[in-house]
Amino acid sequence: MPEKTQPDGATICRSTGLLSAAVGEELLMMSPAVGKYFNLNEVGARIWELLAEPTTVEALVAALTSEYAVDADTAREQVVEFLAELRERGLLASNDAAAAPP
């Protein structure tokens, strides 16, 4: 399982240069830079949609718990794991400076 690499409060968003297309409730993506395809299920596709704008783990958890029958702790654990997997594949960008105190 990927480790948590996202500091609490840091903003995250999609990496640029990815191609994507909805296929039913799933999302098919391709990274031309690495020549790989990625397939996201309905919830993964929703998270990807939310990542169109810079956001935080907590904002993702809040959105998912309001849209799906999942408690906050379970959603947070799964979101952190999913984001770590996206990051390992080069699909996320982050602004860790946003998490630093002023």
Domain boundaries, given as residue ranges, for the chain: 12-90
Please tell me the total number of residues recorded for the chain in this structure. Answer: 102
Where does the pLDDT of residue 3 fall: very low under 50, low under 70, confident under 90, or very high at 90 and above?
very low
What secondary structure letter does DSSP report for 55?
A: B
Q: Would you state the pLDDT for residue 33?
A: 80
Instruction: Name the β-bridge partners of 92.
Output: 14
- Tell me the mean pLDDT in the region 78-97: 85
d(CA 52, CA 55): 9
Which class does domain 12-90 fall in?
alpha beta
Q: Would you state the pLDDT for residue 8?
A: 59
State the residue for tokens 């399982």: 1
Residues 6+ apart with CB under 8 A from 21: 27, 28
- pLDDT tens digits, residue range 30-86? 888 878 899 999 999 999 999 999 999 999 999 999 999 999 999 999 999 999 999
Q: Would you state the pLDDT for residue 54?
A: 95
Q: Are 79 and 47 in contact (CB under 8 A)?
A: yes
> Angle, to 10 degrees, between the axis of helix 57-67 and the axis of helix 42-50?
130
What secondary structure letter does DSSP report for 44?
A: H
The model carries a pTM of 0.80
